[in-house]
Amino acid sequence: MSTGSEMSLAGLSDEDREQVEALMALVSAELSERLPEVTRGMRGVLSREITALADDNRLLELLGGAIEGNVGTILHILRHRIPMRDVDVPSAAVAHARRLAQTGVAVNSLVRAYRLGQTYLLEQCFAELDRRAAEPRLSLLAFNEINVRVFAYIDWMSQEVVTVYETERDQWVRNRDTVRVAHIKEMVAGRSRSDIASAEAALGFRLRQHHVAAVLWVDDDADATDSVARLEACVSLLGRELCGSSAPLSCAADRSSVWVWFPRGVDADDPDIQRIGTVLGSERTGGVRAALGGSIPGMDGFRDSHLQAIEAQRVLLTGGDTARKSIGYREPGVAAAALLAHNLDQTRLLVRSALGPLDADDVPSARLRETLLAFLASGSSYTATAQRSAMHKNSVKYRVERALELRGRPLGEDRIDVELALVACRWLRGGLLGAEAQA
């Protein structure tokens, strides 16, 4: 790699060229003697101007080593006329770039550090030239040549350390994600032996707060890249809805679904599932659906809310309601429906026994079942049911009586069975009452 010096000194006589090189050698020799001082000064400037470089004692130590390695190399180039092709990357600069990548400092901070360091070193060179009071023409030529060679080094070195940074960052992210996913799976399986502090460090997620777990998935046959893009967009969208500026924790479950935990701080309220459904119903979400657990704190809550979300997803998928975009485990009846979904054959027997002909898969029967379920949930009060269902009391009474007539007998000791059967029909209808279910 050319330093550009051949062009900048090409028009000079041999005598002038030698004088310029000699003056540069004197400047670099003096600065080499003061290398520790120059290093401290440059480190002070960089740590003040780029606060991300000063947040870690280990980073400061490596920053000092990188500065000393780079400045020492540049001064060696100036003093001994070393061509760039014979220059090696200082090992301390490589170590510093790797550390920045591992700690998540943005790469632009690394590049800016080299630019600021270049400016600081040129200022030191100019001050040393000025102190020597050489012939102004020679001083100007020497400074110009120093500027050309320092620029060439920084330009080359910036590319080298950015490559190191990006390679390390990619590897570190892959390793971190692998460890994090393994830790998540251990926690949700109940196999983690970590205390809460260790778990938080491994996950990069604060567990000493309330959090809502969710499963997001795509039902269609989109390719993996498209599914991932849509899921990531929805995680971000729901993150703004559920946790504001706090970042959710997520990991891929498979090519078409993702597990997510939304931090809620001290907020113990469960999310508004209807609102979540509205958000997911927008065109931006691309058909993504969501099942959510409750808002639960701590390590146990991290696992329990996730298991609730898994069970809620089971209910929505078993029920076959493709129009519904979201479901919450703590919605009335969902927890019971989740248990019933684990053994559909027995649940079908329960429905047939408790409801008789009322289990028909048609709109009128579904309407009667919903009214009867609301009646039972309202303490068998026609008035309360009417208020709850926004219906006239006489309409409620008619539907309840008609439902019991179809069932073939009044409510008796099997009242709990009837209510469970009605819950099953509401949430698991597609898996219980459809043509395939009856086959």
Local confidence band at 1 (pLDDT 50, 70, 90 cut-offs) = very low
CB 218 within 8 A of CB 288: yes
CA distance 439 to 436: 5
Average pLDDT across the chain, whole number:
88
For residues 289 and 276, give the distance between their C-alpha atoms in angstroms, rounded to a whole number: 10
- Other Cβ atoms less than 10 A from the Cβ of 189: the count is 9
pLDDT digits (tens, 9 = 90+) for 403-432: 999 999 988 889 999 999 999 999 999 888
Question: How far apart are alpha carbons 146 and 287 in whole angstroms?
Answer: 60
Distances (CA, A) of 176 to 204, 215, 276, 389: 10, 22, 30, 51
**What is the percentage of the chain residues whose pLDDT exceeds 90?**
57
The reported pLDDT for the residue numbered 9 is 65
Distinct helix (H) and strand (E) counts, the chain: 18, 5
How many CB atoms lie under 10 A from the CB of residue 114?
20
Q: What is the pLDDT of residue 204?
A: 84
Which pLDDT value is given to residue 220?
66
CATH number for domain 337-438, candidates 1.10.10, 3.40.50, 2.60.120, 1.25.40: 1.10.10
pLDDT at 132 over 90: no
Please return the burial class of 55, using the count of CB atoms within 10 Å of its CB with bins 0-12, 13-18 and 19+: exposed
Q: What is 5-174's CATH topology?
A: Globin-like (1.10.490)
Tell me the average pLDDT across 354-381.
Answer: 93
pLDDT for position 50: 87
CATH class name, domain 198-329: alpha beta
Sorting pLDDT into bands at 50, 70 and 90, what band is 76? very high
pLDDT band (50, 70, 90) for residue 255: confident
Mean pLDDT over residues 376-385, rounded? 92
Q: What are the structure tokens assigned to 394, written together? A: 């006489």
Q: What is the pLDDT of residue 5?
A: 47
Residue 85 DSSP one-character state: G
Q: Which of 220-229, 261-270, 417-426 has the lowest mean pLDDT?
A: 220-229
Q: Kindly report, residue by residue over 33-68, the tens digit of the pLDDT.
A: 999 999 999 999 998 898 877 666 777 788 899 999
Lowest mean pLDDT among 66-80, 109-123, 232-246, 328-342: 232-246
What is residue 4's predicted lDDT score, i.e. its pLDDT? 45
pTM value is 0.63
Question: pLDDT tens, 182-194?
Answer: 888 888 888 888 8
Q: Which of 398, 142, 145, 185 is nearest to 302 (CA)?
A: 185
Spans of all domains in the chain: 5-174, 198-329, 337-438
Between CA 142 and CA 234 the distance in angstroms is 59
